[in-house]
């Protein structure tokens, strides 16, 4: 994807706004797609020169929902609503709509990027103090400790099985 600087965009918009040329002829002259010219002009009309600047940032789920509701209420196209809210492109709006229909409002929440964190290590049980040795533990305390250790072993076995299954799936995918 080619990125254009603000000066170039302003020149393209200025050529169209002069009234002598249409979207197609301006696009042909500058080697652009007519939809790109139309998006820049529309964004410039809605937001002035700020509409032509590079946009950075993430959008919250409430903002995405607000955009979608406005689009549905006023029956706007993706391109129109992107220009109205000064979004980077209309593709984001179509993606948000698909996500909303597939998973509701929760699907609009930003997803964490990057590699997922490793599984947290289980919290070890409290170590018996010097005064509380294994000889002085009651039957109930020993049974509780046994139950905890069995649960810990089961947890580790399950975790190991999941890791091996994931590795096997990765091996199968590679070959």
pLDDT over 60 (residue 162):
yes
pLDDT tens digits for range 88-145? 777 889 999 999 999 888 888 888 778 877 777 777 777 766 555 666 788 898 899 9
Average pLDDT over residues 147-154: 95
CA distances for 75 relative to 81, 82, 86, 94, 157, angstroms: 9, 13, 17, 14, 54
Angle (nearest 5°) at CA 96 between 92 and 101: 150
Is 98 part of any domain? yes
pLDDT tens digits for range 11-29? 888 888 888 888 898 899 8
Query: What's the mean pLDDT when you consider all of the chain?
Result: 84
pLDDT over 90 (residue 70):
yes
Q: Report the number of distinct structural domains present in the chain.
A: 3
Residues 159 and 136 in one domain: yes
Using pLDDT thresholds of 50, 70 and 90, give the confidence band for residue 80: confident
Residues 70 and 92 in one domain: yes
Residues 47 and 89 in one domain: no
Q: Which residues contact 99 (CB under 8 A, 6 or more apart)?
A: 107, 108
34-47 and 23-30 helices, crossing angle to 10°:
110
Residues 140 and 172 in one domain: yes
Choose among 44, 46, 21: nearest CA to 34: 21
In angstroms, the CA 118 to CA 91 distance is: 33
């Amino acid at each position: 994807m080619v990125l254009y600087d603000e000066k170039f965009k302003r020149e393209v918009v200025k050529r169209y706004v002069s009234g002598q040329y249409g979207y197609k002829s301006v696009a042909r002259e500058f080697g652009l797609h007519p939809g790109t010219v139309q998006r820049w002009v529309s964004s410039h009309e809605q937001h002035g020169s700020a509409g032509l600047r590079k946009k950075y940032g993430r959008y919250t789920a409430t903002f995405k929902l607000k955009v979608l509701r406005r689009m549905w209420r006023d029956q706007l196209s993706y391109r129109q609503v992107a220009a109205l809210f000064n979004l980077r492109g209309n593709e984001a709006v179509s993606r948000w709509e698909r996500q909303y229909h597939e998973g509701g409002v929760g699907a609009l929440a930003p997803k964490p990027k990057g590699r997922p964190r490793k599984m947290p290590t289980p919290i070890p049980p409290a170590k018996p103090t010097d005064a509380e040795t294994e000889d002085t533990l009651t039957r109930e305390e020993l049974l509780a400790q046994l139950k905890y250790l069995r649960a810990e072993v089961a947890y580790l076995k399950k975790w190991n099985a999941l890791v091996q299954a994931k590795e096997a799936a990765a091996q199968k995918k590679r070959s």
